[in-house]
A and B are shown apart, each in its own frame.
Chain A
């Protein structure tokens, strides 16, 4: 996903001279296309994320639109207070590209995992958060958000991931996208893991269970109203995210359910009881934390059984 995103950014930068790309010495084989085409607007800021955000804030205050490239944890967390007191507080068009959803970095280990970035970013009012589910949506979301007046945080997959066929790249700020129109089971997902929820929906369909898969691809503006309307139609919802179950999408849905008194039981699937002792690639890690289509099928069947028993 990241290569396509930077390629699109490279194209946009040819049309708008305000666009810059800064990297915290990351993005080998990814950022070169931009660097070669726009060398005067590409800066490797070194391994210094706080300064990169601070410099970008000054650049944005002076008329530029700087995009900052770094691994999720470094982009979102190391420089978090600079983001809060910089582009958020000053309402400036700094764009932070956090690379790596959940366990994208696999063997690189816990320091590189993207586990809590959405939680910390979505609570900053004025920070638009964009979480594309596949390449086509990432490219379209960039086209629709690059010139917003305030700051934007993009969570971009390190790997290409699978295409969400029926999504066809649709993206609208503050909106949700519904895929499949089943009425027995509701999945609300965020990011590339939506592909697994869709696969689970296919497997459930073979058993005669219809699922609705809703993709949330951004916060601020909030998609709460549209989401509430869907939640009202289902007795339970399974939220799916490559993120801690606290703070991200699962918590967001909990807030909507509670605030709107919606009689919908919430089952959050994400990363919890995290332990960094045993490592593997993304698939191994997602299996370990029960983030596969088969796990979601089991969760859905269990929920349906529980509901039928009136528990």
Chain B
């Protein structure tokens, strides 16, 4: 919140929608002793525009220092709106939607070929499913039985300029993934424990890749932002910032 306000850039609604998913993954699920470990779990934030939530997690894991996180979207920063792989703990530079899942499928295939036990998590947005390349990767993962690949879909029902059901309807999403041969799970994307439990109890040997469809609220935790399209891009006014902080602190 503070970084978004200071930098006066948008995408705060997107970051809030995935904050609980990222909290679950970085809080307990991901096995990453250090980001250089070859056998670490991989995490790809394919919806790169939610990077602020990832930066917060990297900061809490102490891979980003305070000075760096305070430079978010200011000149000469390494923390832009979208994350880059040159940052410690970032596996892939994202921002171009529809790219992360293919990359993740490659990481998962490599683990299988090398008989390594790491898992690859890819967090994608619901609107990102508009991209045909996602479905190329969905087919590929299923064909190659990548059950070490876990996709989390941030199903907040919104995209940059409208609601997903009005822009390009994704329904029925669960059935789509099932038809492609995936193991599907639907969870409340703000229930951190449930997300973690689901992710930790997947059958990594059943031959099917996994998708956790996380139903989320865009702008979660700030009443005036929740489910409002304008908060995809809009920065906060002073009054809005104060009010948002108050709500989040009280929660």
Contact = CB atoms under 8 A, between A and B. Distances in A.
Q: Do A and B originate from a single complex?
A: yes
Interface of A: 40-41, 43, 45-46, 48, 50-51, 53-64, 81-82, 85-86, 89-90
17 contacts: A46-B136, A46-B143, A48-B133, A51-B133, A51-B137, A53-B102, A54-B102, A54-B106, A54-B133, A55-B105, A55-B109, A55-B140, A57-B106, A58-B105, A59-B107, A81-B96, A85-B99
Contact of B136 (A41, A51, A64): A51
Given A54-B105, A63-B114, A90 B99 contact: no
Contacts of A54: 99, 101-103, 105-106, 133, 137
Contacts of B105: 51, 54-55, 58
B140 A82 contact: no
The secondary-structure label for the interface of chain A is: helix
B139 to A, nearest CB: 7
B103 A57 contact: yes
Contacts of A62: 106-107, 110-111, 114
A43 B144 CA distance: 10
Interface size, B (range): 20 to 34
A90 B38 CA distance: 17
Interface string B11-33: 00000000000000000000000
A59 B93 contact: no
Shortest 6 CB-CB distances between A and B: which pairs? A58-B106, A54-B102, A62-B110, A51-B136, A48-B136, A55-B106
Given A46-B143, A54-B99, 7 more contacts: A48-B136, A50-B133, A55-B140, A58-B107, A58-B110, A61-B103, A63-B114
B55 interface: no
B104 interface: yes
Interface string B123-143: 000000000110011011001
Contacts of B99: 54, 82, 85-86
B139 A90 contact: no
